[in-house]
Amino acid sequence: MTDESFVEDQYTYDGWLVFNELFNTEVVSDGVTIEDVIGSFPLYEGGSPNDPDAGFERTNLPSMFQNLSEIGTDFQDFANSIRSFKYVDEDWVEEWGYDENANEQIFYKDYHDEVDIFWDSDSQIMMFRGDKQLLGRKRESLQAGLSGSLYLDPVNFNFDFFLWVLYKKYNKEDLSSDLRVRKLTRGKTIGEHEDNLGKRVRVEGSENILRSLMLIAPVLAGKKIQAIQGSFLMGKHKVNAEIEHGGKVHIKVSDSPLSGLSHLRRMGIALQFLTELIRLYNVWEGLPSNDRYPPPSFFDDLSNVAEEEGWDHQYDPENIKEEYRGKRED
């Protein structure tokens, strides 16, 4: 077994590659180094049933990444900038059991809550991986522990970002020099009011949602795209991902090239993809309005596609065209 194979075998993760909270970060104190910031995080040192502890453990994932080869030419730079932690919040539960003399007594069993935290200190991007309900319960204490020297700005993915991604794919344009869409296969839309399409519409099992009436009709009716799923290309890697408004990203492993890789390589590629995605979103937010929003002609194009697919023009695209003229300040 090679040293690299040994390292890969040492790392595993439980569950799916679901990241429920994403942040841009900013060091708020002048003259503070990254290590100073990390040193300000309250450490988890282990407690007891009568004195439970909560805090952060630094993990050795970055050094394991640095031992990997053949992931990509820029992965080593990424591996050098990533920092990883585990947030542990102790929860001791009383349980009845028997001691070695068969006497009944109370034991304490630990059901500690844990959240994986990854911080790309160069890009100033932080990613939380953990159960959504757990994050909801622990959000305040977790963020309080990080915020001594850091400002955390949540990344929520604006509805119009998804529309922009569709527009770029329709025009066969790359999203950036580092990221492009191979295909979009699923989507969700949401509206303010119930209509004959329903308040929410989900598109599944499509090879190209840009030709799906179940997506085009709601968009032309003024509904917002709440989530997209597809296959993205990042360098030589194909990454299947579902991206949702609110800041949740699920990197799909099943039926993807990632399924044949070790857990360590999956995690490395997933984190690099998330960093590139958030960088892209930050760039999108700073674009001029006439680049950030698609032109009205895009909705005419969608209407024409819908007609080719048998749609009877139930929704007039003029309203949505007027809305985006206003957003573009045309």
For residue 97, the 8-state DSSP code is E
Which structural domain range is residue 124 located in? 14-154
For residues 93 and 211, state if they share a domain.
no
User: Would you state the pLDDT for residue 21?
Assistant: 92
Do residues 185 and 195 lie in contact, with contact meaning Cβ atoms separated by under 8 Å?
Answer: no
Q: What are 146's two structure tokens?
A: 């990080």
Give yes or no for residue 276 having a pLDDT over 60.
yes
Give yes or no for residue 103 having a pLDDT over 70.
yes
User: Would you state the pLDDT for residue 1?
Assistant: 41
Inside any domain, residue 172? yes
For residues 146 and 201, state if they share a domain.
no
Average pLDDT (300-315) is 81
Last residue within a domain, chosen from 135, 154, 173: 154
Mean pLDDT for the chain? 86
Range ranked top by mean pLDDT from 71-75, 132-136, 252-256 = 252-256
Number of domains in the chain: 2
User: Would you state the pLDDT for residue 291?
Assistant: 96
For residue 53, the 8-state DSSP code is -
Name the residue among 245, 229, 130 with its Cα closest to residue 184: 229
Last residue within a domain, chosen from 154, 181, 210: 154
Residue with tokens 């590139």: 276
Report pLDDT digits (tens) over 189-221. 987 655 555 556 666 656 788 888 888 988 998
User: Would you state the pLDDT for residue 296?
Assistant: 94
Model-level pTM greater than 0.75? yes
Virtual torsion, Cα 305, 311, 312, 313, nearest 10 deg: -50
Residues with Cβ within 8 Å of residue 73, at least 6 apart in sequence: 235
User: Would you state the pLDDT for residue 143?
Assistant: 75
Report pLDDT digits (tens) over 4-39. 566 787 888 888 999 999 999 998 877 788 888 888
* More confident: 299 or 68: 299
Average pLDDT (35-53) is 86
User: Would you state the pLDDT for residue 241?
Assistant: 96
Q: What does the angle CA 243 – CA 249 – CA 255 come to, to the nearest 5 degrees?
A: 85
Last residue within a domain, chosen from 154, 189, 222: 154
Inside any domain, residue 2? no
Inside any domain, residue 273? no
